[in-house]
Amino acid sequence: MMCTAKKCGVRFQPPAIILIYENEVKGKSRQRIMPVRNFSKFSDCTRAAEQLKNNPRHKSYLEQVSLKQLKKLFTFLRGYLWGQSLAETMEQIQRETTIDPEEDLNKLDDKELAKRKSIMDELFEKNQKKKDDPNFVYDIVVEFPQDEQLQSCGWDTESADEF
């Protein structure tokens, strides 16, 4: 079946993922309600999203919906089950998907570090200028102003006692 996903959302009572799609053969917009079963406030959102996306009944409809978007919908559902408001859940998702520039990544465990790296890779891909972009310039030369005095760092100075 050929269908194009238009919108995807979550329904809290009873819990379900709702997909609005367009049937390419008939050209009609349709709605598909996928009930969420065996999901609690302690469930893993990533695993639930993978299970729904790989479910044989819904697989053809969810091909165009990213796993990241499904995980986000399950996070909203879990926040609702914890009793959080929509704003609190959105703030939590924002904290999890952004990187604090002041955070020391050397102190993180391997799982958290991999999570931060994937966020950085995704941000890099999003901001990367490609050859096909209309504003792409091959070789950019930028002159930085030398108005203020350069600050010296302790690690890049040579001293006589080091040799």
Residue 131, number of CB atoms within 10 A of its CB: 6
Share of the chain above pLDDT 90, in %: 51
CA–CA gap between residue 102 and residue 108 (Å, rounded): 13
* Helix axis angle, 45-54 to 67-82, nearest 10°: 130
Question: What's the pLDDT score for residue 33?
Answer: 94
| Per-residue pLDDT tens digits for 80-139 | 999 999 999 999 988 888 888 888 989 999 988 998 898 899 889 888 888 888 888 888
Query: What is the model's pTM?
Result: 0.69
Give the residue from 44, 63, 45, 43 showing the smallest Cα distance to 53: 63
CA–CA gap between residue 59 and residue 5 (Å, rounded): 12
| Per-residue pLDDT tens digits for 8-31 | 999 999 999 999 999 888 888 999
